[in-house]
Amino acid sequence: MTEILLHLPTWIIIRGLGLMSYCLLFLGIVLGILYGMPFIKGKSKGSMYKWHMRMTWSGFIAGMLHGLILIIDLYSPFHWKEIMIPFAAHHHPILSGLGTLSLYGMLIVLFTTDLRGIISRKIWLVIHLLSYPIFVMTIIHGIFLGSDTRLGVVKMIYLGTGSAVILITLARFISRGNTRSKMQPARARQQV
């Protein structure tokens, strides 16, 4: 078995899955933010929701594989405990722990989304908003622990995706504010 592992490019697979997971989660969060925009309606809203869930679940699965393959890596092997328990890793425990917490956080967000019809909207929204700190933890985990962060293209991925989430989030709040301010004068006229 060790002979087979010697020939597997596990570190490349681990990094590839990490970046894939991050990019898929980025797409999932962006689609989720856009889904909440007031101008997204009809069939496109339903389609956007399906892609939001596909990207988020795919990102979660890639992230899970990213962590699990660390067990068979011969260069820097991890034990089950180090992968499953946040901050228990021998190699960069804080940064590794952020990766583990991100994975658990995404599982909670995804699980509660499946239970959206059962739990109250307020509880669901609070849990769903954890996507933002989870996204920040994945950026920190990737930038400071990723061996390929020194590459310009990878730096640009983190900078571009982080900036995009901030800008799209701001656009969503602005568009919601504009929608509410347009609705208030109409309500005031109806009351007169």
Q: Shortest CA distance to 102 belongs to which of 21, 1, 32? A: 21
Asked if pLDDT for residue 188 goes beyond 60, the answer is no
Burial of 32 per CB tally in 10 Å (0-12, 13-18, 19+)? buried
Residue 110 CA to residue 116 CA, distance in Å, equals 10
On average, the pLDDT of the chain sits at: 88
Per-residue pLDDT reduced to its tens digit, 36-48: 888 878 888 899 9
Residue spans per domain, the chain? 2-186
Q: Which CATH architecture has domain 2-186?
A: Up-down Bundle (1.20)
**Between the CA of residue 93 and those of 9, 35, 44, 69, 96, what are the distances in Å?**
24, 36, 42, 17, 5
**Between the CA of residue 170 and those of 43, 141, 164, 165, what are the distances in Å?**
25, 24, 10, 9
Check: CB of residue 143 under 8 Å from CB of residue 90.
no
Per-residue pLDDT reduced to its tens digit, 101-130: 999 999 999 999 888 889 999 999 999 999
